[in-house]
Amino acid sequence: MADFGLIEAGGTKFVLGIADETRTIHARHQIPTTTPAETLGTAVAWFRDQGLIPEAIGIASFGPLDLNRASPTWGQITRTPKPHWTGADLIAPFTKAFACPVALDTDVNGAALSEYRWGAGVGHQSLLYLTIGTGIGGGFVSAGGHGGTLLHGLSHPEMGHIRIARHPQDQNYPGFCPFHGDCLEGLVAGPAVKGRWDASLSDLPTDHPAHAIIAWYIGQAICTFQAIMEPARIVLGGGVMHAPGLIEMVRESAVSWGGGYFTGDPAGIIVPPALGDNAGLLGALALVLDEEG
C-alpha cells in the first residue's frame, strides 16, 4: 500500500505525518515554524528519518499561496504577514528530495475537504470550514466531482479579510492585520486577542468581556457567509475556538445577526471539527489523493 507524506503547515507549527489511502496515520510529528530554510529542511529530514519513500506529498499550508500552475511562482507563499515567508517555495524542497508529485492548497481548503468527505460534512451538500487561530481563513466545499468541489477564483478565498462592524465596546484597537488593520482577522485572530487583553481567550476568565466580543464578531462573519453561500455545515476550528463555551456564544451571536432569515438550527449547522486534530493532516491527504486520482 502506497504511503504519502503529509504536511499541515501553520504559521506557528508544522504538523508532519505519514498515511496511506485508508486514512491510517502511521506517524506524526510537530515542529515549530521558524524560517523557511530551517522549517522545510527539518520536515525533509524527518520524512527521511522515517524511511519514507512517498508516492506523493500533500501540503495544506497557511497562505496566501500562488496556486496557478502556469505561474512562475506556483507553489510559493505570497503576501503573508508571517516574517521571512513571503516568496517561500513550498514545493521545490520536496520534489528535489523525493522526486515525487506534490499537491498544495491552503490549510483551510484541505481541512474543508477532509471534513466534507470524512467528518462533519458527511451526508451534507456543502460545508464551510473556518479556522480561527494565529490567522483566520475559510474554505468552502460543495457537492460535485468525486468528493466535493472546492471554491477557487483567481486564487483561493481569503475569508479572514472581510470587513466587519466594530463592537460598541471595542472601538479603539486598530487591528493587527498589516494590510487591512481591523478586518475580521485583524480583530479576532489569536494575536489580536493577545494584543488587547494580553492573554489567549482560553486563559481569560469565562466572564471576561473578551469572550462576548469575539463571539459577536464571529457570529457577524457567519451571517455574512450564510448570506453568500448558505452552507449546510459551518465547521469552526483553530486555537481561538478552544475557549470553553465560545462555540455556544457564537451560535447565539449568529442567530442574532441573522434575524431569523436563514434556514436551519444553528446547533446543527455550526459545529466543531468532527476529525479533531486530524482534520489538517487528513486535509493534506485529501489534496494528495485528488492529485493522484
Q: Domain 120-272, CATH 3.30.420.40 — does that match?
A: yes
Please tell me the predicted confidence (pLDDT) of residue 75.
96
* Spans of all domains in the chain: 4-107+279-292, 120-272
Residues 6+ apart with CB under 8 A from 154: none
Please tell me the predicted confidence (pLDDT) of residue 147.
83
Contact 115, 127 (CB under 8 A): yes
Contact 102, 59 (CB under 8 A): yes
First to last CA, the chain: 15
Please tell me the predicted confidence (pLDDT) of residue 12.
86
Phi, psi dihedrals of residue 247, rounded to the nearest 5°: -65, -35
Distance CA 234, CA 225 (A): 9
pTM equals 0.93
Q: Do domains 4-107+279-292 and 120-272 have the same CATH topology?
A: yes
Please tell me the predicted confidence (pLDDT) of residue 293.
63
Please tell me the predicted confidence (pLDDT) of residue 145.
74
Going by C-alpha positions, the residue among 289, 286, 249 that lies closest to residue 109 is 286
Half-sphere exposure at residue 114, Cβ-oriented, CA atoms within 13 angstroms: 31
Q: Render each residue's pLDDT in the chain as its tens digit; 293 residues.
A: 689 999 999 888 999 999 999 999 999 999 999 999 999 999 999 999 999 999 999 999 998 999 999 999 999 999 888 899 999 999 999 999 999 999 999 999 999 999 999 999 999 999 999 999 989 999 999 997 778 999 888 788 899 999 999 999 999 999 999 899 999 999 999 999 999 999 999 999 999 999 999 999 999 999 999 999 999 999 999 999 999 999 999 999 999 999 999 988 888 899 999 999 899 999 999 999 988 76
Residues 6+ apart with CB under 8 A from 164: 183, 184, 187, 217, 220, 221, 224
Give me the CATH topology for the region 4-107+279-292: Nucleotidyltransferase; domain 5 (3.30.420)
Please tell me the predicted confidence (pLDDT) of residue 154.
78
Please tell me the predicted confidence (pLDDT) of residue 163.
97
Rg (CA), the chain: 19
Please tell me the predicted confidence (pLDDT) of residue 172.
96
Distance CA 204, CA 200 (A): 7
Going by C-alpha positions, the residue among 109, 134, 66, 58 that lies closest to residue 289 is 58
